[in-house]
Amino acid sequence: MTDLEPRPAEVVPHDPNAVLSPAALDRLDRSIPENTKTAYRRQARDFVAWCEERGRDTLPASAQTLADYVSHLCDLDRAPSTIEQAIATIRVAHREAGHDGKPDTRAALRILKTHKRDRAEAGKRKKKAPPVTLTALRAIIDATDPTTLAGRRDRVMVVLGFAMMARRSELAALRIEDVTFTDDGLTILIRKSKTDQDAEGAEVNIPHGVHPDTDPVRVVRAWLDRLQAADGPLLRRINRWDQLQPGGMSGAAINERVRALAIRAGLPNGADFTAHGLRAGGPTEAAKAGQPVSFIADHGRWSKTSPQVLEYIRPVDKWRDNPMRGIGL
């Protein structure tokens, strides 16, 4: 086999109970986020190429083939999360091809466990994007030029990303008509998100800020006044000559823009900043201000069972509730 597609099946009499309509197939395909499909396709291509070089079968693959492939990824020092995704990709391909339970992953997972231990002993830790705290946010704002289209758009991007605790996909999907000005601030409609699988939508309320340059209401109004548009993407593409381009920014473009702004602002390790830092910075600062975890989780649209929000809050708690504080050292 040269790919992870199932082998052609023998021709059998048509069974109307065993087929899906084109519309159903389309909806099934669209139920998987595009970035997830892209990652899975990349993982599948890499596995196929590795197998072809070594004359191994890809479907069904043996337990030894999977274990050797995982060991190969370890040799490349791939992140454990990347290797876990590769294993999941191969398992899904086998299940969809009718090879349930194959390949056996036990040896592969033991190799991955060893890889994690080796990385820990070498001082390598899971890399996390630094949170964009209020200090970092203001430095980024200072690095923008509000007299330009790009500068005003960038202010909206980082301020809303922080205040909404937004995923980059949520920022990229925002439309002008999703923004409502109220007496209390802004109400932002998020049409769908990672934890909203049924696309019921959610509204995020953002109060007025106290600093003109980071007040969400002011920065959004300044951008819309300059944009002069009633609908369409909120975060627009702008070329190097500060000219509007058709369409909105992608999640990847937002990520790269945040990194570029962090570097321009002179933040320590500026190249490590990403759009995720905006989502992490909001709960970090809210926890410092004493906001309850339940309020933070609800505002950031985290699943009630997700431990992720605690990952942002624990560093704050470790300082605020440190047992060495106030003991007379």
Tokens 């139920």 locate to 31
Most distant CA atoms of the chain, gap in Å? 83
What is the overall mean pLDDT for the chain?
83
Question: Which token pair is 91?
Answer: 């398992």
Interhelix angle 149-163/251-264, nearest 10 degrees: 100
pLDDT digits (tens, 9 = 90+) for 261-300: 999 999 988 888 889 899 988 888 888 888 878 888 888 8
Residue 185 and residue 217: Cα distance in Å, rounded?
A: 6
CB 246 within 8 A of CB 237: yes
Q: How sure is the predictor about 95, in pLDDT bands with cuts at 50, 70 and 90?
A: confident
Q: How confident is the model over 177-193, as a mean pLDDT?
A: 89
Q: From residue 184, give the alpha-carbon distance in Å to each of 102, 187, 292.
A: 56, 9, 21
**Nearest Cα to Cα of residue 153 among 61, 264, 253:** 253
Domains detected in the chain? 19-121 (1.10.150.130), 134-320 (1.10.443.10)
Instruction: Look at residue 89 and tell me whether its pLDDT is greater than 80.
Output: yes
Question: Which token pair is 158?
Answer: 């980082």
Map residue 238 onto helix, strand or coil: strand
- State the burial class of residue 175 (Cβ atoms within 10 Å of its Cβ: 0-12, 13-18, 19+): middle
Any residues with CB less than 8 A from the CB of 275 and at least 6 apart, and which?
161, 168, 171, 251, 254, 255, 258
**Between these two residues, 150 and 198, which has the higher pLDDT value?**
150
Any residues with CB less than 8 A from the CB of 34 and at least 6 apart, and which?
none
The helix (H) or strand (E) run that includes residue 170 is helix 168-173
Residue 192 and residue 202: Cα distance in Å, rounded?
A: 7
Identify whether 22 is preceded by a cis peptide bond (ω within 30 of 0).
no
| Segment among 78-92, 167-181, 306-320 with least mean pLDDT | 306-320
Number of CB atoms found within 10 A of residue 276's CB: 19
The b/e string for 43-52 (b: 16+ C-beta within 10 A; e otherwise) is bbebbbebbe
**Nearest Cα to Cα of residue 118 among 67, 82, 88, 78:** 78
Global confidence as pTM:
0.67
CA 112 vs. chain centroid, Å, equals 24
| Segment among 17-26, 53-62, 104-113, 319-328 with least mean pLDDT | 319-328
Instruction: Look at residue 186 and tell me whether its pLDDT is greater than 60.
Output: yes
Instruction: Look at residue 2 and tell me whether its pLDDT is greater than 50.
Output: no
CB 220 within 8 A of CB 152: no
pLDDT digits (tens, 9 = 90+) for 213-226: 999 999 999 999 99
Question: Which token pair is 267?
Answer: 């933040």
**Nearest Cα to Cα of residue 90 among 65, 55, 114:** 65
Q: How sure is the predictor about 92, in pLDDT bands with cuts at 50, 70 and 90?
A: confident
Any residues with CB less than 8 A from the CB of 61 and at least 6 apart, and which?
51, 90, 94, 102, 103
- State the burial class of residue 85 (Cβ atoms within 10 Å of its Cβ: 0-12, 13-18, 19+): middle
Residue 174 and residue 117: Cα distance in Å, rounded?
A: 42
Q: How sure is the predictor about 10, in pLDDT bands with cuts at 50, 70 and 90?
A: low
pLDDT digits (tens, 9 = 90+) for 200-259: 678 889 999 889 899 999 999 999 999 888 789 999 999 999 998 888 998 889 999 999
Q: How sure is the predictor about 199, in pLDDT bands with cuts at 50, 70 and 90?
A: low
Residue 224 and residue 270: Cα distance in Å, rounded?
A: 29
Query: How confident is the model at residue 106, as a pLDDT?
Result: 92
Query: How confident is the model at residue 196, as a pLDDT?
Result: 55
Partners of 236 in the β-ladder: 248
Residue 134 and residue 113: Cα distance in Å, rounded?
A: 38
